[in-house]
Structure 1
Amino acid sequence: MFENILRQKRVISFLKEDIASGRLPSSLLFYGEPYSGKLSTALELARVLSCSAEGNWNCSCRSCREYRSLTSQYLLMTGGRYFYEEIAASGDTMYRNPSPATTYLYIRSVRKLLRRFDAQLWEGNEAKLKSVRGSVEALAASVDELEPGESEHKRSDLEKIVKSNASHVEKICGSSVSKNIPIDQIRNITYWCRSLGGKHPKFVLLEGVENMVDSSRNALLKLLEEPPENCYLILLTSRKGGIIQTILSRVRQYSFSPRDLNASEEVLRRIFRIEDTNQSLRHFFLSWKGVRTDQLADAAERVITTILEGGRYEIEAFDELIKQYASAEQFEPFLEELTSRLSALLAPAGTRKGFPLSPELIAEWNGYIREAYVRRSAYNQSGPLLLESLLYRMAESIEKERSGA
């Protein structure tokens, strides 16, 4: 079990111990940097706990087959993710190295997106899916035909399939319906957990819980306070600090280590069949959206330095930056880079230009960043206006702290 999880020995050891001792709780939080394997581990945990045998990766029981193909009726998945990048990278891998393993890699990456549109999640809100329903159905039909054993595909056919599917993925990811967890979904999840009978364990995987709006967080908190029988709730986050304490107190936390360059190279070699690369997983995935990580780092550094030096009166200096990073492709990566830079400033030497940045100020800035992300993903508000407001509020808050207001 967990043979498919690379370079996370510590957290896997804890999970195995908890499973073997019977101490595994029904409410868990997996936290760590993006691309550290949190979702893969959650899916593998669900497979292991559902297995009718011993949980080995190559087990042929029906439950294991369904979890490997992400078709289990006892699984719900919701929340935002880097869908476009993962699907594009997996499709390229399948095209370059056609095999049952790379085909499953692509199928799973697409179904991670498709499972966000399960009928149980959208009951009562089906009208909200009108703009993407055609693309969802086309994607589902395409990956069903790709299932190993269904039919043979030439390499040229695979290229056409990947390109055709990419347009559907782009349309779905461009909408707001795949990016957040609305309160109605939490209510539907609660009903599903309590109504689905039988002895088979149920699993709910919620990604990006740090970005939930208040109403959704409160509904999730109520579900955690009264957990359904035989149902596992697995929360996934890249920013634990964005989760309210009352939720943190009701889950067992499992920390995922950042994947350094060596670990990234192993993942790229073994999963994506890329040899002799010298890039991080973040660089690899963002490159599929045309995002350059070096430019992101420079832009985030410039924002922090300029605000510290000049305050809000230098906001005009960000006009070009706002135009560049307010686009759909750049907005979220830029906010992630800002958050990463701020986390580094929490170290004891977190001082810039002679001015000490207090943990309270950094927490305030992170709150502004989270708010900008939620307003963009949940309410589709204007990227340029959100970035301008974010930078203004950051500058204004540091002016107040300097003046002692």
Structure 2
Amino acid sequence: MYDNLLHQTISEQLKSDLDSKQFPGSVLFSGPQGSGKLTAALETARILSCTETPHAIWNCTCPSCLQHKALVSGNLILTGPRDCTPEIAAASYAFLQAAANNASYLTAARYLFLRSVRKLTLRFSPVLWNDDDKINKIASVTSEIDEQLETVDFPHNLPDFKTVEKTCGKLVELCQKLEKDFLYASIPISHIRNVSSWARMKSSGGTKTIIIENADRMLESVRNALLKILEEPPEDTVFILTATRRSAVMPTILSRVRTYNFSERTLEQQQDVISRVFHKNSFSGSIDDYLQTFLPVLPDQLRQSAKSFLSEIASGHIPDIQGVIKECKNFEPRIMLKVFLRGLLEYQRPLFKTPSGAQASSCVVKAVQDCWNNVSVFNQSVQSALEVLVKELSKVNKMYGNVLLCVIM
């Protein structure tokens, strides 16, 4: 159990609760980004479904465990916003390196890539998108992804390297299209309602697991819809919510779930994860840093764009927002917008040198946080959110006597 959850002591508590049958029907996995919450949630779903004795050992070959390892179980629903494509690109790179060198870890790298793709496609289950007007367009993309996956999926032997390379390239491209065109910034209320109906249908295949990622980013109406089913959960269904900010989860939801707290991995531990999972031994940064090296625009370029953006405002000019968006490849995936906004926060730090500057800084931080929330929670377009941000930062600059000039000196 939890052999793939590295450097997390909470795994012992999870094992204990599952072994003693004290694992509740609704839980919250809370912890920093990159702490293994989704890995733990997927592994928990496998353990709950296992039909063999001894129960749920890592190399169990019962049909249910094999389906869960491949992320093709009919008893698993995964929903919630996530930047999936950087991990898919990183997994593709690891897989191709292993295939090119016939490495000893080829099977593991193959699973890594397949699972990374399905962590995205699971979010487009017909169960979730039933009656949505986009379902036919989504189905055309997911069908093509499934067709391409057949080429590199188990139990087939891998084709020649050129075919594998071409297939991986096509899959990365299709996944980028699927995420860019259809993945929501926060969970639609219709998905919770559809999940609720599905959860109440009797299953002949054992425990159903519903994983809701980033539950702290749900709108109030969605939270209320979720609360209704958590108040009376079906007996054969387990709900696993994940969140980076437990404090942002509704108190009434918190009262109905058991929280498992995931600790932040040290930098050394994160580098070990990169080495053991992605088979990259020479990387010196964090997991986030590594995945960001696979973004369409590199982090350093995004931060430089942020510096130019802030400099324009500090000089009393209006930045070319459309030009910034184009330069940053439409901020797709959305994690690129987060890197850009973090760059703004880094470059405004000189404001702390004076009392008035510190006051201005608090206003800047709030405006930047509001910009991210407008996009990630309220589904506002990036252009509209940046336009609002420019107005707010210009107002702060004027209110405090061109205080932003100190950040470009």
3-state SS in 2 of match to 1:111: helix
Matched pairs, number: 387
Aligned-partner Cα distance in 2 for 1:285–1:97: 18
Aligned-partner Cα distance in 2 for 1:36–1:274: 18
Aligned-partner Cα distance in 2 for 1:387–1:326: 15
Contact 2:90 2:294 in 1 (8 A): yes
Structure 1 range deviating more: 228-237 or 248-257: 248-257
Match of 1:101 in 2: 108
Q: Deviations over 1:329-367 (max 9, x none)?
A: 37543336757998xxxxxxx967433699999778645
Q: Deviations over 1:362-402 (max 9, x none)?
A: 778645532232344xxxx432221221354477689999x
Distance change (3 Å), C-alpha of 1:302 and 1:255: farther
Match of 1:214 among 220, 223, 233: 220
Distance change (3 Å), C-alpha of 1:229 and 1:325: same
3-state SS in 2 of match to 1:205: strand
Q: Deviations over 1:245-282 (max 9, x none)?
A: 33233222222222332122211211111122212211
Counterpart check, 1:383 vs 2:382: yes
Aligned-partner Cα distance in 2 for 1:240–1:339: 21
Match of 1:369 among 349, 367, 372: 372
1:100 is displaced (CA, Å) by 1.9
Q: Deviations over 1:212-247 (max 9, x none)?
A: 233222211212222222211111223334333332
Give 2:91's aligned amino acid: S
Aligned-partner Cα distance in 2 for 1:213–1:303: 30
Match of 1:39 in 2: 38
Distance change (3 Å), C-alpha of 1:368 and 1:167: closer
- Equivalent positions of 1:266-345 (< 5 A) are 266-294=272-300, 316=318, 327-329=330-332, 331-335=334-338, 338=341
- Equivalent positions of 1:119-268 (< 5 A) are 119-125=126-132, 127-177=133-183, 179-198=185-204, 200-268=206-274
3-state SS in 2 of match to 1:131: helix
Distance change (3 Å), C-alpha of 1:205 and 1:336: farther
3-state SS in 2 of match to 1:219: helix
Give 1:282's aligned amino acid: D
Q: Deviations over 1:129-157 (max 9, x none)?
A: 33332221011122234223223312111
Aligned-partner Cα distance in 1 for 2:339–2:19: 37
Aligned-partner Cα distance in 2 for 1:358–1:179: 27
3-state SS in 2 of match to 1:29: strand
Match of 2:60 in 1: 59
Counterpart check, 1:110 vs 2:117: yes
TM-score (norm 2): 0.81
Aligned-partner Cα distance in 2 for 1:223–1:351: 47
Match of 2:5 in 1: 5
User: Kindly, what percent of the aligned residue pairs are identical?
Assistant: 31
Aligned-partner Cα distance in 2 for 1:360–1:261: 31
Unaligned 5+ residue runs, structure 2?
100-105, 346-350, 401-409
Distance change (3 Å), C-alpha of 1:289 and 1:362: closer
Aligned-partner Cα distance in 2 for 1:314–1:240: 39
Unaligned 5+ residue runs, structure 1?
343-349
1:108 is displaced (CA, Å) by 0.7
Contact 2:219 2:378 in 1 (8 A): no
Aligned-partner Cα distance in 1 for 2:20–2:212: 25
Distance change (3 Å), C-alpha of 1:318 and 1:225: farther
3-state SS in 2 of match to 1:76: strand
Distance change (3 Å), C-alpha of 1:249 and 1:391: farther
Contact 1:200 1:230 in 2 (8 A): yes
Aligned-partner Cα distance in 2 for 1:204–1:32: 19
1:4 is displaced (CA, Å) by 0.7
Contact 2:303 2:339 in 1 (8 A): no
Contact 1:322 1:387 in 2 (8 A): no
1:178 is displaced (CA, Å) by 5.0
Aligned-partner Cα distance in 2 for 1:398–1:45: 50
Counterpart check, 1:15 vs 2:52: no
1:196 is displaced (CA, Å) by 2.7
Give 1:372's aligned amino acid: V
Contact 1:2 1:41 in 2 (8 A): yes
Contact 1:100 1:148 in 2 (8 A): no
Q: Deviations over 1:285-311 (max 9, x none)?
A: 11211344456567779999999xx8x
Aligned-partner Cα distance in 2 for 1:48–1:341: 43
Contact 1:85 1:288 in 2 (8 A): yes
Aligned-partner Cα distance in 2 for 1:182–1:94: 34
RMSD in angstroms over aligned alpha carbons? 3.5
Give 2:182's aligned amino acid: S
Q: Deviations over 1:46-103 (max 9, x none)?
A: 1112212311110111111111011111110111212111111111111110222211
Distance change (3 Å), C-alpha of 1:40 and 1:68: same
Structure 1 range deviating more: 260-269 or 291-300: 291-300
3-state SS in 1 of match to 2:134: helix
Counterpart check, 1:91 vs 2:92: yes
